[in-house]
Amino acid sequence: MNPDQNSNTGNVFGMIGLGTMGRSLLLNIADSGFAVAGYDKDTLKVDALKQEGAPYQVEGFASLPDFVNSLKKPRAIMMLVPAGPIVDSVVEEVLPLLDQGDILIDGGNSHFTDTTRRDTALEAKGFHFFGMGISGGEEGARRGPSMMPGGDIEAYEIVRPILEAVAARVNNEPCVTYIGPGAAGHFVKMVHNGIEYGLMQLIAETYEILRKGLQMDNASIHRLFAQWNEGRLQSYLLEITRDIFAFKEPGTESFLIDDIYDVARSKGTGKWTSQVAMDLELPVPTIDVAVAMRDLSKYKELRVKADALYTVEQPNRFATERRDKTLQYLEQAFYFSMITTYAQGMHLLAKASAAYGYQLQLDQIAKIWRGGCIIRAAFLEDIYTAYQQNKELPHLLLDPYIKGLVQETAPGMREVVAAAALSGVATPAFAATLSYFDNFRNGSMPSNLIQAQRDFFGAHTYEVIGREGIFVHSAWLPDALD
Ligand code: 6PG
Please state the separation of Cα 43 from the chain's center in Å. Answer: 32
Are 111 and 38 members of one domain? yes
Which residues, in sequence order, are bridge partners of residue 103?
Answer: 76, 128
DSSP-derived secondary structure for 106-166: E-S---HHHHHHHHHHHHHTT-EEEEEEEESHHHHHHH--EEEEEE-HHHHHHHHHHHHHH
d(CA 148, CA 365): 8
CATH number of the domain encompassing residue 73: 3.40.50.720
Number of domains in the chain: 3
pLDDT for 319 equals: 79
Kindly report the protein residue whose alpha carbon is nearest to atom 9 of ligand 1. Answer: 193
Are 253 and 372 members of one domain? yes
366: in domain: yes
393: in domain: yes
8: in domain: no
d(CA 65, CA 37): 12
Listed residues 182, 199, 234: the one ending a domain: 182
91: in domain: yes
The whole-model pTM stands at: 0.96
Burial call 379-409: b when 16+ CB within 10 Å, e when fewer: bbebbbbbbeeeeebeebbebeebeebbeeb
345: in domain: yes
In a 13 Å sphere around the CA of 244, the CA atoms on its Cβ side amount to 14
CATH number of the domain encompassing residue 463: 1.20.5.320
Reply yes or no on whether 189 is catalytic: yes
Are 417 and 300 members of one domain? yes
Listed residues 160, 182, 204: the one ending a domain: 182
Are 21 and 163 members of one domain? yes
d(CA 108, CA 106): 6
Are 429 and 450 members of one domain? no
Is residue 245 within 8 Å of 222, Cβ to Cβ? yes
pLDDT for 9 equals: 78
The reply to whether ligand 1 has any atom less than 6 angstroms from the CB of 314 is: no
Are 136 and 283 members of one domain? no
Are 232 and 366 members of one domain? yes
2: in domain: no
Listed residues 182, 205, 240: the one ending a domain: 182
The reply to whether ligand 1 has any atom less than 6 angstroms from the CB of 101 is: no
Q: Which of 335, 381, 315, 95 is nearest to 202 (CA)?
A: 335
Q: Residue 251 Cα, ligand 1 centroid: separation in angstroms?
A: 30
Are 30 and 61 members of one domain? yes
313: in domain: yes
d(CA 59, CA 53): 8
The reply to whether ligand 1 has any atom less than 6 angstroms from the CB of 423 is: no
The reply to whether ligand 1 has any atom less than 6 angstroms from the CB of 339 is: no
User: pLDDT tens digit string along 377-388?
Assistant: 999 999 999 999
pLDDT for 481 equals: 56
Are 427 and 454 members of one domain? no
The reply to whether ligand 1 has any atom less than 6 angstroms from the CB of 137 is: yes
Q: Residue 159 Cα, ligand 1 centroid: separation in angstroms?
A: 24
Reply yes or no on whether 196 is catalytic: yes
Angle (CA) 267-269-274 rounded to 5° is 130
Residues in the chain, pLDDT under 70 = 1-8, 478-482
Provide the residue range defining the domain that includes 245: 189-440
1: in domain: no
Are 300 and 353 members of one domain? yes
pLDDT for 2 equals: 41
d(CA 41, CA 438): 54
Are 70 and 161 members of one domain? yes
Q: Residue 85 Cα, ligand 1 centroid: separation in angstroms?
A: 18
CATH number of the domain encompassing residue 261: 1.10.1040.10
Are 211 and 136 members of one domain? no
Is residue 236 within 8 Å of 374, Cβ to Cβ? yes
